[in-house]
Amino acid sequence: MGEVGKAESRGSQKPRKDKGQVMATERDLYCIAWIAEQYAVRGDQLQRLLSRFPNPDYPYQGELIAKTTVRDQIGRWQRAGWVEYRRVLAGEAGYAWVTKKGLQLVDLDEIYQAREPASTRLKHLCAIAQLRLWLDQKYAWKSERRYRAEELERSQVKKGKTLGPIPDAVITQKNGVVAIEVELTAKKPDEIEKKLVGLGRDCVLRGKGYEKAFDAIWFYVNS
């Protein structure tokens, strides 16, 4: 076959069905599930999260990947339809949250609903995500969102109904299960007492009977 014939043969090949499609990587699956568990994650926190996956092809700035790489990654997720990303609060980076398609990607669509978090919750969600970035590589972390979903199933309470005090997260460490509380503003003593009593009385079925759900409660506040 001559050169012309070869060129015609190559040109007649059908385009791949997945051409232009964003293919999910191990890092995508990890990060998108992480974001979904936390409801929403701020852009600078995404930089730290993505930096957990070293890759010589991505430029680093010290211990972190470059901000341009983070923007490229967020754009890629948006093109795939897995996340939404928008600046909401003045003077802060944007926030990312997971879409229904993103939840389907990480097999969480039957547990969580895809919706934009209220702007009034973002600072609190940000503080919890910051704490998780610090703790979840030392301890097994269960998000408030996951804990709430499990409690709804366990207690058979309808969605939207009151479950009583729900911790901001739960970690498991060598001394047992710990409820995590993050407070950004000062609370009245009776509010703190009510929360402590509620969490202290919460019980779960373990082994042969019911036991206290938490062996300790850790509070984190502004310095």
Question: What are the pLDDT tens digits along the chain (223 aa)?
Answer: 555 555 555 555 665 655 668 898 999 999 999 999 999 999 999 999 999 987 666 655 568 888 999 999 999 999 999 999 999 988 889 999 999 999 999 999 999 999 999 999 999 999 999 999 999 999 999 999 999 998 887 766 555 555 678 999 999 998 899 999 999 988 888 888 888 888 887 776 666 667 788 888 999 988 7
Structure tokens at 42: 């701020």
Domain coordinates of the chain in residue numbers?
A: 23-137, 140-223
Could you tell me if 81 and 98 are in contact, meaning their C-beta atoms sit under 8 angstroms apart?
no
> How confident is the model at residue 19, as a pLDDT?
65
Query: Across the chain, how many H-helices and E-strands are there?
Result: 8, 11
Could you tell me if 179 and 166 are in contact, meaning their C-beta atoms sit under 8 angstroms apart?
no
Instruction: Please name the residue that has the structure tokens 């506040």.
Output: 221
Find, among 89, 91, 129, the residue nearest to 220 by Cα: 129
CATH fold of 23-137 reads Arc Repressor Mutant, subunit A (1.10.10)
> How confident is the model at residue 91, as a pLDDT?
87
Interatomic CA distance for residues 69 and 80, integer angstroms: 17
Going from the C-alpha of 211 to that of each of 154, 156, 195, 202, the distances in angstroms are 15, 19, 18, 8
The burial class, CB within 10 Å (0-12 / 13-18 / 19+), for 191 is exposed
Alpha-helical regions (H) of the chain: 3-11, 26-37, 43-50, 67-80, 100-105, 122-135, 144-155, 189-201
> How confident is the model at residue 18, as a pLDDT?
59
Structure tokens at 176: 């047992």
The burial class, CB within 10 Å (0-12 / 13-18 / 19+), for 217 is middle
Interatomic CA distance for residues 39 and 114, integer angstroms: 9
> How confident is the model at residue 208, as a pLDDT?
64
> How confident is the model at residue 78, as a pLDDT?
97
Could you tell me if 87 and 74 are in contact, meaning their C-beta atoms sit under 8 angstroms apart?
no
Interatomic CA distance for residues 52 and 210, integer angstroms: 38
SS3 14: coil
pTM across the whole model: 0.83
> How confident is the model at residue 210, as a pLDDT?
72
